[in-house]
A and B are shown apart, each in its own frame.
Chain A
Amino acid sequence: MESQATASTATPAQTRAIGAGIAPLLGAGDVVLLVGPLGAGKTTLVQGLVAALGGREPVTSPTFTLAHRYPTSPPVTHVDLWRLGHLQEVVDLALEEELDGGGVVIVEWGEAAEPLYGADALVVRLGWGRTDDERTIAVEARGASWISRAAGLSAVAGAGAGTPGEAAVGEG
Protein backbone atom coordinates (compact mmCIF):
# COMPACT_ATOMS: atom_id res chain seq x y z
CA MET A 1 0.00 0.00 0.00
CA GLU A 2 1.47 3.28 -1.06
CA SER A 3 -0.13 6.64 -1.22
CA GLN A 4 1.37 10.01 -1.90
CA ALA A 5 0.50 13.70 -1.85
CA THR A 6 2.65 16.64 -2.82
CA ALA A 7 2.60 20.31 -1.96
CA SER A 8 4.70 23.40 -2.45
CA THR A 9 5.27 26.05 0.17
CA ALA A 10 6.57 29.58 -0.20
CA THR A 11 7.27 30.46 3.44
CA PRO A 12 8.30 28.73 6.66
CA ALA A 13 4.78 29.40 7.96
CA GLN A 14 3.39 27.33 5.11
CA THR A 15 5.84 24.54 5.84
CA ARG A 16 4.70 24.64 9.47
CA ALA A 17 1.12 24.42 8.21
CA ILE A 18 1.98 21.19 6.37
CA GLY A 19 3.34 19.84 9.66
CA ALA A 20 0.17 20.90 11.42
CA GLY A 21 -1.83 19.14 8.70
CA ILE A 22 0.04 15.88 9.28
CA ALA A 23 -0.47 16.05 13.05
CA PRO A 24 -4.11 14.88 13.26
CA LEU A 25 -3.28 11.81 11.14
CA LEU A 26 -0.80 10.55 13.72
CA GLY A 27 -1.45 8.02 16.44
CA ALA A 28 0.41 5.89 18.95
CA GLY A 29 3.29 3.98 17.43
CA ASP A 30 3.62 6.02 14.23
CA VAL A 31 6.96 6.81 12.62
CA VAL A 32 7.49 9.86 10.41
CA LEU A 33 10.70 9.86 8.37
CA LEU A 34 11.78 13.32 7.19
CA VAL A 35 14.08 13.27 4.18
CA GLY A 36 15.71 16.34 2.69
CA PRO A 37 18.93 18.36 2.56
CA LEU A 38 20.13 20.92 5.10
CA GLY A 39 17.79 23.87 5.26
CA ALA A 40 14.95 22.13 3.46
CA GLY A 41 12.59 22.81 6.33
CA LYS A 42 12.58 19.53 8.28
CA THR A 43 12.70 21.16 11.71
CA THR A 44 10.28 23.87 10.56
CA LEU A 45 7.76 21.19 9.61
CA VAL A 46 8.21 19.52 13.02
CA GLN A 47 7.54 22.89 14.69
CA GLY A 48 4.11 23.03 13.06
CA LEU A 49 3.44 19.38 13.83
CA VAL A 50 4.36 19.58 17.52
CA ALA A 51 2.43 22.83 18.02
CA ALA A 52 -0.64 21.26 16.45
CA LEU A 53 -0.44 18.38 18.92
CA GLY A 54 -0.47 20.84 21.82
CA GLY A 55 3.27 21.41 22.26
CA ARG A 56 4.07 24.66 24.03
CA GLU A 57 7.85 24.64 24.14
CA PRO A 58 9.93 25.81 21.18
CA VAL A 59 11.01 23.02 18.82
CA THR A 60 14.68 23.14 17.87
CA SER A 61 16.87 20.80 15.88
CA PRO A 62 18.04 17.79 17.89
CA THR A 63 21.17 17.45 15.76
CA PHE A 64 23.50 17.57 18.77
CA THR A 65 21.17 16.27 21.47
CA LEU A 66 20.02 13.36 19.23
CA ALA A 67 16.50 13.36 20.66
CA HIS A 68 13.95 15.73 22.16
CA ARG A 69 10.72 14.57 23.73
CA TYR A 70 7.63 16.76 23.76
CA PRO A 71 4.75 16.13 26.19
CA THR A 72 2.13 16.38 23.47
CA SER A 73 -0.82 14.11 22.83
CA PRO A 74 0.35 11.66 21.61
CA PRO A 75 3.86 12.35 22.96
CA VAL A 76 6.40 13.17 20.23
CA THR A 77 10.03 12.04 20.22
CA HIS A 78 11.95 14.13 17.71
CA VAL A 79 15.29 12.62 16.68
CA ASP A 80 18.01 13.63 14.26
CA LEU A 81 20.30 10.98 12.78
CA TRP A 82 22.76 13.38 11.13
CA ARG A 83 25.59 12.60 13.53
CA LEU A 84 25.18 8.83 13.41
CA GLY A 85 27.29 6.57 11.23
CA HIS A 86 26.08 3.07 11.93
CA LEU A 87 22.62 1.53 11.89
CA GLN A 88 23.26 0.04 15.33
CA GLU A 89 23.41 3.60 16.69
CA VAL A 90 19.87 4.11 15.39
CA VAL A 91 18.81 0.86 17.06
CA ASP A 92 20.47 2.07 20.27
CA LEU A 93 18.14 5.07 20.42
CA ALA A 94 15.53 2.54 21.62
CA LEU A 95 12.75 4.18 19.62
CA GLU A 96 10.73 0.95 19.97
CA GLU A 97 10.19 1.84 23.61
CA GLU A 98 8.78 5.25 22.67
CA LEU A 99 6.54 3.74 19.98
CA ASP A 100 5.35 0.92 22.20
CA GLY A 101 4.65 3.39 24.98
CA GLY A 102 2.10 5.20 22.82
CA GLY A 103 4.42 7.78 21.33
CA VAL A 104 5.07 9.14 17.85
CA VAL A 105 8.64 9.28 16.54
CA ILE A 106 9.67 11.96 14.04
CA VAL A 107 13.06 11.29 12.43
CA GLU A 108 15.16 13.93 10.69
CA TRP A 109 17.56 12.46 8.12
CA GLY A 110 15.02 9.65 8.15
CA GLU A 111 16.56 7.86 5.15
CA ALA A 112 19.14 6.47 7.59
CA ALA A 113 16.36 4.71 9.50
CA GLU A 114 14.64 3.25 6.42
CA PRO A 115 16.03 -0.26 6.96
CA LEU A 116 14.38 -0.29 10.40
CA TYR A 117 11.15 1.67 9.96
CA GLY A 118 10.72 2.28 6.23
CA ALA A 119 8.12 -0.43 5.65
CA ASP A 120 5.48 1.19 7.84
CA ALA A 121 5.94 4.91 8.07
CA LEU A 122 4.94 8.29 6.77
CA VAL A 123 7.84 9.47 4.60
CA VAL A 124 8.02 13.22 4.07
CA ARG A 125 10.48 14.42 1.43
CA LEU A 126 11.40 18.09 1.48
CA GLY A 127 13.29 19.75 -1.35
CA TRP A 128 14.25 23.13 -2.70
CA GLY A 129 11.92 24.87 -5.13
CA ARG A 130 12.67 27.38 -7.84
CA THR A 131 13.07 30.35 -5.52
CA ASP A 132 15.03 30.76 -2.29
CA ASP A 133 11.98 30.42 -0.10
CA GLU A 134 10.08 27.81 -2.06
CA ARG A 135 10.03 24.21 -0.85
CA THR A 136 8.49 21.10 -2.34
CA ILE A 137 7.06 18.61 0.11
CA ALA A 138 6.01 15.08 -0.83
CA VAL A 139 4.23 12.97 1.74
CA GLU A 140 4.16 9.23 1.17
CA ALA A 141 2.25 6.75 3.34
CA ARG A 142 3.71 3.27 3.57
CA GLY A 143 2.40 0.17 5.26
CA ALA A 144 -0.85 -1.44 6.35
CA SER A 145 -1.54 0.92 9.22
CA TRP A 146 -1.71 3.83 6.80
CA ILE A 147 -4.29 2.37 4.41
CA SER A 148 -7.26 3.82 6.25
CA ARG A 149 -5.52 7.15 6.73
CA ALA A 150 -4.24 7.65 3.19
CA ALA A 151 -7.31 9.67 2.28
CA GLY A 152 -6.20 12.31 4.78
CA LEU A 153 -3.03 13.00 2.84
CA SER A 154 -4.67 15.17 0.19
CA ALA A 155 -5.91 17.42 2.97
CA VAL A 156 -2.32 17.68 4.16
CA ALA A 157 -1.22 18.95 0.76
CA GLY A 158 -4.01 21.50 0.89
CA ALA A 159 -2.70 22.79 4.21
CA GLY A 160 0.25 24.43 2.47
CA ALA A 161 0.18 27.07 -0.20
CA GLY A 162 -1.17 24.74 -2.85
CA THR A 163 0.37 25.03 -6.27
CA PRO A 164 3.98 25.96 -6.89
CA GLY A 165 4.51 29.61 -7.59
CA GLU A 166 1.39 30.73 -5.81
CA ALA A 167 1.76 34.02 -3.98
CA ALA A 168 3.06 33.65 -0.44
CA VAL A 169 0.65 34.16 2.38
CA GLY A 170 1.94 36.22 5.27
CA GLU A 171 4.16 34.85 8.01
CA GLY A 172 2.81 34.08 11.46
Chain B
Amino acid sequence: MRILAIETATIEVGVALADETGPLASVTARPGRRQAETLHPAIADACRIARITPAELDAIAVDIGPGLFTGLRVGVAAAKALAGGLGLPVVTAMSLEVLIAACPSGLGEVIPVVDMRRGEVAWLMPRSPASTVRVGTPAELAAELAELARESAAAAGNVGPVLLVGDGALRHRELLGASSAPAPVFGGIELAAPPVSSLAVLAIAAMTDGRFCDPAAVCPFYGREADARINWSSRQGRETVS
Protein backbone atom coordinates (compact mmCIF):
# COMPACT_ATOMS: atom_id res chain seq x y z
CA MET B 1 0.00 0.00 0.00
CA ARG B 2 1.37 3.39 -1.01
CA ILE B 3 0.21 6.70 0.39
CA LEU B 4 0.98 10.28 -0.55
CA ALA B 5 0.71 12.54 2.51
CA ILE B 6 0.18 16.32 2.28
CA GLU B 7 0.86 18.59 5.25
CA THR B 8 0.14 22.33 4.97
CA ALA B 9 -1.71 23.10 8.19
CA THR B 10 0.88 25.41 9.71
CA ILE B 11 4.03 27.20 8.58
CA GLU B 12 5.47 24.16 6.83
CA VAL B 13 4.65 22.56 3.49
CA GLY B 14 5.41 18.86 3.62
CA VAL B 15 4.94 15.94 1.26
CA ALA B 16 5.75 12.31 2.09
CA LEU B 17 5.33 8.95 0.42
CA ALA B 18 5.04 5.92 2.65
CA ASP B 19 4.13 2.26 2.67
CA GLU B 20 3.79 -0.32 5.46
CA THR B 21 7.56 -0.21 6.06
CA GLY B 22 7.46 3.52 6.82
CA PRO B 23 8.25 6.77 4.98
CA LEU B 24 9.87 6.29 1.55
CA ALA B 25 10.54 9.93 0.71
CA SER B 26 9.68 13.31 2.12
CA VAL B 27 10.10 16.92 1.08
CA THR B 28 9.50 19.83 3.44
CA ALA B 29 9.83 23.58 3.12
CA ARG B 30 8.79 26.75 4.92
CA PRO B 31 7.74 28.84 1.95
CA GLY B 32 5.94 31.67 3.71
CA ARG B 33 2.91 32.64 1.63
CA ARG B 34 4.01 30.53 -1.33
CA GLN B 35 2.28 27.32 -0.23
CA ALA B 36 0.52 26.73 -3.55
CA GLU B 37 3.67 27.38 -5.57
CA THR B 38 5.68 25.03 -3.33
CA LEU B 39 3.32 22.11 -2.75
CA HIS B 40 2.95 20.77 -6.29
CA PRO B 41 6.66 20.76 -7.19
CA ALA B 42 7.26 19.10 -3.80
CA ILE B 43 4.77 16.34 -4.69
CA ALA B 44 6.54 15.80 -8.02
CA ASP B 45 9.94 15.73 -6.31
CA ALA B 46 8.84 13.29 -3.61
CA CYS B 47 7.37 10.94 -6.24
CA ARG B 48 10.56 11.15 -8.28
CA ILE B 49 12.79 10.43 -5.25
CA ALA B 50 10.65 7.48 -4.19
CA ARG B 51 10.27 6.31 -7.82
CA ILE B 52 6.53 6.14 -7.43
CA THR B 53 4.14 7.47 -10.04
CA PRO B 54 0.76 8.89 -8.99
CA ALA B 55 -0.89 5.93 -10.76
CA GLU B 56 0.78 3.61 -8.22
CA LEU B 57 -0.75 5.34 -5.20
CA ASP B 58 -3.47 3.72 -3.07
CA ALA B 59 -4.58 6.74 -1.05
CA ILE B 60 -3.96 10.43 -0.36
CA ALA B 61 -3.53 11.62 3.22
CA VAL B 62 -4.02 15.21 4.30
CA ASP B 63 -3.84 17.24 7.49
CA ILE B 64 -7.21 19.01 7.79
CA GLY B 65 -6.21 21.35 10.64
CA PRO B 66 -6.70 23.21 12.84
CA GLY B 67 -4.13 25.65 11.54
CA LEU B 68 -3.76 28.45 9.05
CA PHE B 69 -6.52 29.03 6.51
CA THR B 70 -4.33 29.70 3.50
CA GLY B 71 -2.20 26.60 3.97
CA LEU B 72 -5.18 24.37 4.74
CA ARG B 73 -7.03 25.51 1.65
CA VAL B 74 -4.01 24.74 -0.55
CA GLY B 75 -3.38 21.32 1.00
CA VAL B 76 -6.98 20.14 1.22
CA ALA B 77 -7.76 21.32 -2.31
CA ALA B 78 -4.71 19.48 -3.64
CA ALA B 79 -5.61 16.28 -1.78
CA LYS B 80 -9.21 16.36 -3.00
CA ALA B 81 -8.16 17.07 -6.58
CA LEU B 82 -5.51 14.35 -6.68
CA ALA B 83 -7.73 11.77 -5.02
CA GLY B 84 -10.70 12.68 -7.19
CA GLY B 85 -8.64 12.55 -10.36
CA LEU B 86 -6.90 9.29 -9.49
CA GLY B 87 -10.01 7.65 -8.05
CA LEU B 88 -8.41 7.21 -4.60
CA PRO B 89 -9.75 7.44 -1.06
CA VAL B 90 -8.55 10.17 1.32
CA VAL B 91 -7.28 9.68 4.85
CA THR B 92 -7.66 12.74 7.04
CA ALA B 93 -5.85 13.56 10.26
CA MET B 94 -5.89 16.59 12.52
CA SER B 95 -2.72 18.61 12.98
CA LEU B 96 -2.87 18.03 16.74
CA GLU B 97 -3.04 14.23 16.29
CA VAL B 98 -0.06 14.33 13.94
CA LEU B 99 1.98 16.27 16.50
CA ILE B 100 1.11 13.69 19.18
CA ALA B 101 2.04 10.84 16.83
CA ALA B 102 5.41 12.48 16.22
CA CYS B 103 6.34 12.29 19.92
CA PRO B 104 7.97 9.12 21.26
CA SER B 105 5.66 7.33 23.67
CA GLY B 106 6.59 7.13 27.35
CA LEU B 107 7.50 10.79 27.63
CA GLY B 108 4.43 11.53 29.71
CA GLU B 109 1.39 13.54 28.72
CA VAL B 110 1.72 15.32 25.38
CA ILE B 111 -0.34 18.43 24.67
CA PRO B 112 -0.10 19.69 21.08
CA VAL B 113 -0.61 23.45 20.61
CA VAL B 114 -1.09 25.00 17.17
CA ASP B 115 -0.75 28.75 16.66
CA MET B 116 -4.01 30.14 15.25
CA ARG B 117 -2.65 33.73 15.10
CA ARG B 118 -4.14 36.88 16.56
CA GLY B 119 -3.73 35.70 20.15
CA GLU B 120 -5.39 32.32 19.77
CA VAL B 121 -4.14 28.75 19.89
CA ALA B 122 -5.75 25.34 19.36
CA TRP B 123 -4.89 22.46 21.64
CA LEU B 124 -5.93 18.97 22.66
CA MET B 125 -5.82 17.86 26.29
CA PRO B 126 -4.31 14.44 27.12
CA ARG B 127 -6.44 11.31 26.52
CA SER B 128 -9.05 13.43 24.73
CA PRO B 129 -10.62 12.50 21.41
CA ALA B 130 -9.82 14.71 18.42
CA SER B 131 -13.39 16.00 18.52
CA THR B 132 -12.60 17.86 21.75
CA VAL B 133 -10.18 20.33 20.15
CA ARG B 134 -10.06 23.52 22.17
CA VAL B 135 -9.53 26.95 20.63
CA GLY B 136 -8.79 29.89 22.89
CA THR B 137 -6.24 32.30 24.23
CA PRO B 138 -2.88 31.13 25.61
CA ALA B 139 -4.12 32.32 29.03
CA GLU B 140 -7.07 29.93 28.79
CA LEU B 141 -4.70 27.09 27.90
CA ALA B 142 -2.46 28.07 30.83
CA ALA B 143 -5.47 27.81 33.16
CA GLU B 144 -6.27 24.34 31.81
CA LEU B 145 -2.66 23.28 32.30
CA ALA B 146 -2.75 24.47 35.90
CA GLU B 147 -5.99 22.57 36.47
CA LEU B 148 -4.56 19.43 34.88
CA ALA B 149 -1.48 19.62 37.13
CA ARG B 150 -3.69 19.98 40.23
CA GLU B 151 -5.87 17.02 39.21
CA SER B 152 -2.86 14.85 38.41
CA ALA B 153 -1.17 15.70 41.70
CA ALA B 154 -4.35 14.90 43.63
CA ALA B 155 -4.84 11.59 41.83
CA ALA B 156 -1.31 10.28 41.70
CA GLY B 157 0.64 12.27 44.24
CA ASN B 158 3.79 12.77 42.27
CA VAL B 159 3.51 13.54 38.56
CA GLY B 160 5.94 14.43 35.81
CA PRO B 161 5.70 17.51 33.63
CA VAL B 162 3.53 17.63 30.53
CA LEU B 163 5.20 17.97 27.13
CA LEU B 164 3.97 20.89 24.99
CA VAL B 165 4.69 20.63 21.26
CA GLY B 166 3.76 22.71 18.22
CA ASP B 167 4.31 26.28 17.04
CA GLY B 168 1.67 27.61 19.44
CA ALA B 169 3.55 26.18 22.42
CA LEU B 170 6.83 27.72 21.26
CA ARG B 171 5.27 31.10 20.53
CA HIS B 172 3.70 31.37 23.98
CA ARG B 173 6.47 29.54 25.81
CA GLU B 174 6.94 32.20 28.49
CA LEU B 175 3.28 32.28 29.55
CA LEU B 176 2.71 28.52 29.27
CA GLY B 177 6.01 27.68 30.98
CA ALA B 178 4.89 29.51 34.11
CA SER B 179 1.39 28.03 34.08
CA SER B 180 1.78 25.00 36.32
CA ALA B 181 4.02 23.03 38.63
CA PRO B 182 5.91 21.04 37.65
CA ALA B 183 6.58 23.39 34.74
CA PRO B 184 5.75 21.99 31.28
CA VAL B 185 8.56 20.75 29.07
CA PHE B 186 8.68 22.11 25.52
CA GLY B 187 9.28 20.26 22.28
CA GLY B 188 11.94 21.59 19.94
CA ILE B 189 11.54 23.55 16.73
CA GLU B 190 11.53 20.28 14.77
CA LEU B 191 8.09 19.75 16.30
CA ALA B 192 6.82 23.27 15.55
CA ALA B 193 4.94 21.96 12.50
CA PRO B 194 3.26 18.53 12.32
CA PRO B 195 5.91 16.29 10.66
CA VAL B 196 4.58 15.00 7.35
CA SER B 197 6.29 11.63 7.82
CA SER B 198 4.23 11.15 10.99
CA LEU B 199 1.08 12.00 9.03
CA ALA B 200 2.06 9.38 6.44
CA VAL B 201 2.63 6.68 9.08
CA LEU B 202 -0.69 7.54 10.78
CA ALA B 203 -2.40 7.30 7.39
CA ILE B 204 -0.97 3.85 6.64
CA ALA B 205 -2.42 2.66 9.96
CA ALA B 206 -5.75 4.31 9.21
CA MET B 207 -5.95 2.68 5.76
CA THR B 208 -5.18 -0.70 7.32
CA ASP B 209 -8.05 -0.11 9.76
CA GLY B 210 -10.38 0.99 6.96
CA ARG B 211 -10.58 4.60 8.18
CA PHE B 212 -10.71 6.59 4.95
CA CYS B 213 -13.30 8.60 3.08
CA ASP B 214 -14.42 9.84 -0.31
CA PRO B 215 -12.54 12.97 -1.47
CA ALA B 216 -15.82 14.85 -1.80
CA ALA B 217 -16.40 14.43 1.95
CA VAL B 218 -13.11 16.01 3.01
CA CYS B 219 -13.42 19.39 4.75
CA PRO B 220 -10.77 21.49 6.45
CA PHE B 221 -11.19 22.17 10.16
CA TYR B 222 -10.35 25.83 10.57
CA GLY B 223 -11.15 26.05 14.26
CA ARG B 224 -12.85 29.41 13.87
CA GLU B 225 -16.59 29.27 13.49
CA ALA B 226 -18.87 32.23 12.97
CA ASP B 227 -22.41 30.97 12.81
CA ALA B 228 -24.26 34.12 11.81
CA ARG B 229 -25.66 35.62 8.66
CA ILE B 230 -24.54 39.16 7.95
CA ASN B 231 -27.25 41.68 8.68
CA TRP B 232 -27.14 43.67 5.49
CA SER B 233 -29.72 46.30 6.36
CA SER B 234 -27.02 48.81 5.43
CA ARG B 235 -26.51 47.40 1.94
CA GLN B 236 -29.51 49.11 0.42
CA GLY B 237 -27.54 51.23 -1.98
CA ARG B 238 -27.29 54.96 -2.09
CA GLU B 239 -28.67 56.79 0.89
CA THR B 240 -28.86 60.52 1.26
CA VAL B 241 -28.38 62.59 4.35
CA SER B 242 -30.74 65.52 4.53
Q: Give the B-binding residues of A (Cβ under 8 A).
A: 35, 37-39, 81-82, 84-88, 90-94, 96-97, 99-100, 109, 111-112, 115-116, 127-130, 136
Judge whether A91 and B224 touch: CB under 8 Å. yes
Q: Give the A-binding residues of B (Cβ under 8 A).
A: 68-70, 116-118, 120, 222, 224-230, 232, 234-241
Partner of A127, one of B228, B229, B236, B241: B241
What 6 pairs across the A-B complex have the smallest Cβ distances?
A94-B69, A87-B226, A100-B117, A96-B118, A96-B117, A87-B228
- Report B-chain residues with C-beta under 8 Å of the C-beta of A129: 241
Cα(A38)–Cα(B117), bound, Å: 33
- Report A-chain residues with C-beta under 8 Å of the C-beta of B118: 96, 99-100
Partner of B230, one of A37, A84, A92, A100: A84
Judge whether A87 and B227 touch: CB under 8 Å. yes
- Report B-chain residues with C-beta under 8 Å of the C-beta of A85: 229-230, 232
Min C-beta distance of B68 to chain A, whole Å: 6
- Report B-chain residues with C-beta under 8 Å of the C-beta of A84: 230
Cα(A85)–Cα(B232), bound, Å: 8
- Report A-chain residues with C-beta under 8 Å of the C-beta of B237: 37-38
- Report B-chain residues with C-beta under 8 Å of the C-beta of A91: 222, 224-226
Judge whether A94 and B235 touch: CB under 8 Å. no
Judge whether A112 and B226 touch: CB under 8 Å. no
- Report B-chain residues with C-beta under 8 Å of the C-beta of A86: 226, 228-230
Min C-beta distance of A103 to chain B, whole Å: 11
Judge whether A94 and B234 touch: CB under 8 Å. no
- Report B-chain residues with C-beta under 8 Å of the C-beta of A100: 117-118
Cα(A127)–Cα(B226), bound, Å: 29
- Report A-chain residues with C-beta under 8 Å of the C-beta of B229: 85-87
Partner of B228, one of A37, A92, A115, A136: A115
On whether A115 and B69 interact (CB within 8 A), knowing A37-B237, A37-B239, A109-B235, the answer reads: no
On whether A136 and B241 interact (CB within 8 A), knowing A87-B226, A91-B222, A91-B226, the answer reads: yes
- Report B-chain residues with C-beta under 8 Å of the C-beta of A81: 230
List 18 interface pairs A-B (beta carbons < 8 Å), by A numbering: A37-B237, A37-B239, A85-B229, A86-B229, A86-B230, A88-B225, A88-B227, A91-B224, A93-B69, A94-B70, A96-B69, A97-B117, A109-B234, A111-B234, A115-B228, A127-B241, A128-B241, A130-B241
- Report B-chain residues with C-beta under 8 Å of the C-beta of A39: 238
Q: A91-B225, A128-B239 are in contact. List 14 more A-B contacts (CB 8 A).
A: A39-B238, A81-B230, A87-B230, A91-B224, A93-B69, A94-B70, A96-B69, A96-B116, A96-B117, A97-B68, A97-B69, A100-B117, A109-B234, A128-B238
- Report A-chain residues with C-beta under 8 Å of the C-beta of B224: 91, 96
Judge whether B235 and A82 touch: CB under 8 Å. yes
Cα(A47)–Cα(B70), bound, Å: 27
- Report A-chain residues with C-beta under 8 Å of the C-beta of B68: 94, 97
- Report A-chain residues with C-beta under 8 Å of the C-beta of B238: 37-39, 128
Judge whether B241 and A97 touch: CB under 8 Å. no
On whether A88 and B239 interact (CB within 8 A), knowing A37-B234, A97-B117, A99-B118, the answer reads: no
Cα(A11)–Cα(B95), bound, Å: 52
- Report A-chain residues with C-beta under 8 Å of the C-beta of B240: 128
Min C-beta distance of A75 to chain B, whole Å: 11
- Report A-chain residues with C-beta under 8 Å of the C-beta of B241: 127-130, 136
